[in-house]
Structure 1
Amino acid sequence: YFLTKGAIGKETASWVCIVAAAPLAAAGFFRYNGLTFEQFVWAFIKSQILCAGPRVFRSENLYCKILSEKEKNIYD
């Protein structure tokens, strides 16, 4: 506030300070599944950036697997 009030005016400087402080104040009330804002951000960074490896989807046809086991048992 003190650095900008001379350049942009007192009222504009006060609004800039309010707008800049609002996200920090909102972070104090943030809760997601029991996590605070800092814990949530760290968990998000870990899961999306640090530990994000290639995820390969491999389907498993359980029905076919059960039928093939039954066929084995029939011929035994």
Structure 2
Amino acid sequence: MPDPGLGSESVSFRLIQLVAVGDEEPRKVPVTVTMVRVGATVATFQSTNIERDGHAVVPPDVVSKQLTKLADENR
């Protein structure tokens, strides 16, 4: 995925995780991960979508609020 441009450095990527319960066929589960460095702290945000088709989405407002807290703590 494109660089989210957050914190000091950041990266975001999507992957498909295979999940099987018991004798079931493995199920393809979309996962999205965003990692952000703020100073010496690395924060990881992950979203998994097991209910519907499409991508898992890391909510930008959650990431923004958490990064604001980290920035405030590093001052």
Category of TM-score, reference length = shorter chain: under 0.3
Superposition TM-score, scaled by structure 1 size: 0.27
Which has the greater radius of gyration? 1
Which has the higher relative contact order, 1 or 2, with Cα contacts under 8 A spaced 6 or more apart?
A: 2
Higher share of residues assigned strand: 2
Higher share of residues assigned helix: 1
Superposition TM-score, scaled by structure 2 size: 0.27
